[in-house]
Chain A
Amino acid sequence: MSIKTSILSSIGQKLLLATSGLIMFLLFLIPHMGGNILFLFGKDLFNSYAHHLHKLVPIVIGIEVLMLVSISVHMIMGIRVVLANRKASAKRLSQKSSKERSLAARLMPVSGGMIFIFIVKHLLDFTIAGEKAEIDMHGQTGYDVYGMVLDKFQDPVHVAFYVLFMVAVGLHLSHALQSALQTYGIYVPREGSKIKVVSTVIATLMAATFAIIPIIAFTR
């Protein structure tokens, strides 16, 4: 078995899926959530966070490139695996799934696709077409990122869109975290697994934290 066949084997592809997913989770999702939480503490803190982030441009660009690679690997492997699995399972007319298969597991391709749509929309909203007013930040020119967020979330439809897509993030993560561990060979038991519980709790908390920002912005 050559290295290439190993990488493209069923287990190799899953390792790539798990690894690219974990990179995005650890290097992007968690820091992003940390930053978002600052929004709750008001305009000054959030703007100064955005301002400092701006100074870290080389690191930010590094992470962005890594994200781009990870997202591409994740999507390519995800699509390959889903298509291969559709074919492999053949048509079953009477089959019933047991309770074993969680809704989150079932919806992985759907939630994954939704997250991709969301990322595109989110980038359009805040990075590409986000208009920020210039403000004075302790003698330097900064941007009112806080104001931009408030502005974007005045439309309830927009808020609802964000919240709905965070449900997809939560569902995706709840299966992804435990599944990645099992893929790395860490036994995740079928019944009474603490890893499964922790995955679900982390996923729910993260999704809720992300979803609360647009809701708070709307009410402010």
Chain B
Amino acid sequence: MSKQINLTLKVWRQSKGEAGRFETYEAKNIDTDASFLEMLDVVNDELTVKGVEPIAFEHDCREGICGCCGALVNGKTHGSHDRTTLCQLHMRHFEDGQELVLEPFRADAFPVLKDLIVDRSGLDEIITEGGYVAVKTGNAPEASTTPIKKEFAEAAMDAAECIGCGACVASCPNGSAMLFTSAKVSQYALLPQGHPERAKRVKAMVSKMDELGFGNCSNEYECAVACPKGIDVKNIARLNREFIKHGFKS
């Protein structure tokens, strides 16, 4: 049964080039069936009526698949709910009268653009370096020409679940993008289609990650706790192996 709750929001407000600050707003009569982003929509409607600039936040699919949304809710990326993106987080997990602190995903490589929106294009740049396979164009090949063992197919699919939301970076005490990069490297390293560019890929993606100012993984595993897609640190071990195997050959 849905009910209505009232919340107090402390929201990070910041425009580009400006120092940010927390502002306090009331979120009134929020349906517990609403998603977190729908709650923000309601607050924004009221702010607009009052002539206050609405809170900027990023979103697209609202189905947990695009990786656009995300913020720290009470200090936790995407809120604290297990394997849930912010858009899929429902207000029934909150209590009437609760205070929520909303802060953007923070990392040196994720500059704040506005309010809760950060520039995560660094992740795209890492993808550009090697997140592809070269294939002949034309018709799709016959599915059974390249047999793939079930365990490899499954592990590759698990890695491919990463939606590039950046929660791993924002939760990592080192602002490291290792979980993201490891998922992307793994997804190709596990499949025969990814093998021709294997050596080049791992070197290029790791060096881009370093160049953009993401931190060094120190095996704290906060990323895997925060990841809404359950990407496992097994991928980081695999990335390390890939790098040991291919990273030192010129």
Contact = CB atoms under 8 A, between A and B. Distances in A.
Please indicate whether A and B come from the same complex rather than being unrelated chains.
yes
Nearest to A98: B225
B240 A108 contact: no
B106 interface: yes
Contact-size category for A: 35 or more
A89 B220 CA distance: 14
Nearest to B233: A190
Interface string A184-205: 1111111000000000000000
A15 B245 CA distance: 13
Q: How large is the interface on B (under 10, 10 to 19, 20 to 34, 35 or more residues)?
A: 35 or more
Contacts of A10: 176, 178, 206, 209-210, 214-217
Contacts of A5: 207
A9 B246 CA distance: 13
Contact of B175 (A6, A85, A187): A85
A199 to B, nearest CB: 11
Nearest to A92: B106
Contact of A98 (B106, B207, B222): B222
A91 interface: yes
Contact of A91 (B106, B110, B217): B106
Nearest to B74: A94
A111 B237 CA distance: 25
A84 B216 CA distance: 8
Interface in B203-250: 203-204, 206-207, 209-210, 213-222, 224-226, 232-234, 236-241, 243-244, 247-248, 250
Contacts of B247: 1, 6, 9, 11-12
A195 to B, nearest CB: 11
B172 interface: yes
Given A9-B247, A85-B175, A189 B233 contact: yes
Given A92-B103, A190-B224, A183 B219 contact: yes
Nearest to A2: B250
A167 B240 CA distance: 30
A88 B107 CA distance: 6
Contact of A186 (B76, B174, B226, B237): B237
A141 interface: no
A75 interface: no
Contact of A85 (B171, B176, B250): B176
Contact of A1 (B204, B213, B233): B204
Given A10-B214, A190-B232, 7 more contacts: A3-B248, A6-B243, A10-B176, A85-B218, A90-B175, A100-B222, A189-B234
Interface of B: 12, 22, 72, 74-76, 101, 103, 106-110, 170-176, 178, 203-204, 206-207, 209-210, 213-222, 224-226, 232-234, 236-241, 243-244, 247-248, 250
